[in-house]
Structure 1
Amino acid sequence: MALTVRIPSRPEQDSARGRTPSDPIGQARTHPPVQNRGVTASTSPALVGIAHGTSSAAGQAAVAGLMAAVALAEPTLHTALGYVDVQQPDAPSTLAALPAGVPAVVVPLLLSAGYHVYVDLTDAVAGEAAASARSVTMTEALGPDDRLIELLRERLDEVPLNADDSLVLAVAGSSDARAVAACRVVAERLSLAAGRDVALGFLSAARPRLACAVTIERIQRPGRRVVVSSYLLAPGFFQGLVEKAGADAVTAPLLLPTEPASPLLVAVVTDRYRNALTPTD
């Protein structure tokens, strides 16, 4: 039995997510299932992606599409998808359903290392390691990562962002101070990438709330268009809140069910997996 949990210890390695379930938004495109892919003779650790979960059909399809893309990128690995909230299978069930004796690397498909990583997934990993002879490792969350900043820039190009626009980064928010600090790191990196100031607005748990951040930008820079960059993984309840916060333009989340998952995001997931296989001092 072996248990390794690698979660960010420095604020700049974290980002924030909330715990609110998501509601249906938009139409979904179906993707092939990613559960129960074959295990190679070398018994490489399974790559287990654990997402938040959502009741949004569009969000469900978008996250399933991400894991389908990961499975295509790593065809020799056993891949599985589970959830920490709203959807089934949950994380403990997903781990327990893996073939006996196959080690596992859990990759949180979350932009933060907040409550779901530090509590829910940590407990699930520890429980599986205690209940079986399986070696279980958990990686860092997906963000912050410069490839995610590049994705944010690509979404802004779709708006597009004009030279005199005000820019606000929308994040889910967290009561975890480490996660809040990490959100500020993401905003700073986006500011450098975009070459302009970036305000920060939270959707839950922390302040300023997004609607307030948008209002402040209008007061401080009257007459300018306010653009909100959505730092959310997929469509759902929080993306709906972003779109209702009063901005002139809002970017799409990092994943959409109507387009393939970005190779940048797929690479973040697979790199988290591979880094977990590399011993550290």
Structure 2
Amino acid sequence: MAEAGGAPPALLAVAHGTRDPAGPAVVRALLDRVRAMRPGLRVAEAYGELSEPSLEEAAEGLRGVPVVVVPLLLARGYHALVDVPGRAGRLLPGAVTSRPLGPDALLAGALAARLAEEDRISPDRRDAVVLGAAGSADPA
């Protein structure tokens, strides 16, 4: 889909970031799948903090093209609702920011299916699964 008289939009995927090198590796694998599914789509990787490239660094390479920013976040909190859209809007005027990936029933279903598969593969294992999240000042 091209903007009238201009370049097609680019996708800027923004993850939180982590000190663990496995985090960016997972993000890159996800973005490789997006590129494989949409070969004509320009896809850029960015992080809100702790990992590189930063949102600011990634935005430098996207100036002058329409951009859809996708927060790769699993909850509606400060980063998804304020930080990422605000920074992207200042850096890339006219950029559109999507909702974060979650919360979503599809994600909960995928988690439940993954846990059931693990139980089917190793029914005698007695591991515990703990899901945790950082708190938010957002009352929603």
Q: Using the TM superposition, give the Cα deviation of residue 175 of structure 1 relative to its aligned residue in structure 2, in angstroms.
A: 2.4
- 1:119 paired to 2:82: yes
The list of structure 1 runs, each at least 4 consecutive aligned residues, that deviate by more than 6 angstroms after superposition, is none
Distance of 1:66 and 1:169 partners within structure 2: 24
Shift of 1:154: 2.0
CA distance in 2, matches of 1:150, 1:141: 17
Q: Kindly provide the CA deviation profile for residues 202-237 of structure 1, in whole angstroms up to 9, marking residues without a partner as x.
A: xxxxxxxxxxxxxxxxxxxxxxxxxxxxxxxxxxxx
Deviation at 1:160, TM superposition (A): 1.0
* Aligned partners of 1:108 and 1:117 also within 8 Å: yes
Deviation at 1:82, TM superposition (A): 0.3
CA distance in 2 between counterparts of 1:105 and 1:113 reads 18
CA distance in 2 between partners of 1:141 and 1:171 (Å): 18
Q: Distance in 2 between matches of 1:112 and 1:172?
A: 9
Could you say which residue in structure 2 is the equivalent of 1:174? 135
Paired position in structure 2 for 1:145: 104
1:226-281 CA-partner distances (Å, limit 9, x unpaired): xxxxxxxxxxxxxxxxxxxxxxxxxxxxxxxxxxxxxxxxxxxxxxxxxxxxxxxx
**Cα distance in 1, alignment partners of residues 6 and 117 from structure 2:** 43
1:66 paired to 2:30: yes
Equivalences for residues 36-75 of structure 1 within 5 A? 43-75=7-39
Give the equivalent residue in structure 2 for 1:102.
65
Deviation at 1:159, TM superposition (A): 3.0
**What is the distance in 2 between the residues matched to 1:42 and 1:89?**
26
Residue 168 of structure 1 deviates from its aligned partner by 6.8
Q: Does 1:83 align with 2:47?
A: yes
Identify unmatched segments of 5+ residues in structure 2.
Answer: none
Q: In 2, are the aligned partners of 1:92 and 1:127 still within 8 Å (CA)?
A: no
Cα distance, 1:127 vs structure 2: 1.0
Q: Deviations over 1:127-168 (max 9, x none)?
A: 1245xxxx2000100012222122111221133188xx9x87
2 CA distance for matches of 1:45 and 1:79?
9
Query: Secondary structure of the residue that 1:159 maps to in structure 2?
Result: helix
Larger Rg, first or second structure (1 or 2):
1
Q: Alignment partner of 2:131: what SS? A: strand
Does residue 159 (structure 1) correspond to residue 118 (structure 2)? The answer is: yes
TM-score (norm 1): 0.42
For 1:147 and 1:76, locate their aligned partners in 2 and report how far apart those are by CA, in whole Å: 26
Structure 1: where are the runs of 5+ without partners? Answer: 1-38, 182-281
What's the RMSD between the two structures over aligned residues?
2.6
Matches within 5 A, 1:1-281: 43-98=7-62, 100-130=63-93, 135-160=94-119, 170-178=131-139
Over residues 97-134 of structure 1, what are the superposed CA-to-partner deviations in whole Å (9 max), with x where a residue is unaligned? 11x4210000000101212123321221221245xxxx
